[in-house]
Amino acid sequence: MDETPEETPRETGGAPDRAARGGMTRKSVLRAAMAAAPAAVLIGTGAAAGPALARDKVADRKPLEATPTCDDGDDPTPPQTEGPYFKPNSPRRDSIVPPGAPGRPLSVSGYVFSVGCKPLANVLLDWWQADANGAYDNVGYRFRGHQFTGADGSFRLTTLRPGLYPGRTRHLHVKLQAPNRPVLTTQLYFPGEPRNQTDPIFDSRLLMTVRPVGSGYQASFDFVLNV
């Protein structure tokens, strides 16, 4: 794992070129998504299991609803103030788990679409979260990192389930930016969390679909950018 921080692109299309996977269509994206998601018991039931994934709506060929923003006032970082603050120039990596860190494994995967149902390649996703004890690293880059979507619009993040930060429900932070487009700052939530009912920032539209796998969890969420 490369631990060397590099500058995160913000307003340019500076994502690295990826090998074209060729012939990607809406149907091929859907088939790949279905093949990669075997049947399993979801955490929570009904609406608590998370909203329908955008990939399930692509076949309807109707405009998708853009992912809502969710910014709790953490950018830029106020001086000498503790909290879950965004930190620029995170390392580029698909796993943000520090070596030897305790916690329950969590993978988060999905696609990034346009409102016109097109999978978006080379979209920046910049992640940060609390560790298993609910603490944020505001000095280094533990549980922080950025990545880019593939040619088919897909992403996969390896991390640990975050702990509970005081006053908040369990969540992940992420910023997304398509090349040469505005940044979307949002958060992802876990179904079935008691604090979902009391967290004033919580938005049910940002619930992931989560299922237990072994000693950890697999989560899915499809982002829709207003492009």
Q: What is the pTM of this model?
A: 0.73
Q: Report the pLDDT value the prediction gives residue 52, as an integer from 0 to 100.
A: 65
Residue 100 contacts residue 154 (beta carbons within 8 Å): no
Which ranges constitute the DSSP H helices of 59-211?
Answer: none
Which ranges constitute the DSSP H helices of the chain?
Answer: 26-35
Q: Report the pLDDT value the prediction gives residue 191, as an integer from 0 to 100.
A: 98
5 falls in which pLDDT band (50, 70, 90)?
Answer: very low
pLDDT in tens, 61-72: 677 788 777 555
Both tokens of 119, joined, read: 């999978």
Domains of the chain: 26-225 (2.60.130.10)
> Pick from 177, 168, 89: which is nearest to 128 by CA?
89
pLDDT in tens, 183-215: 898 999 999 999 999 999 898 999 999 999 999
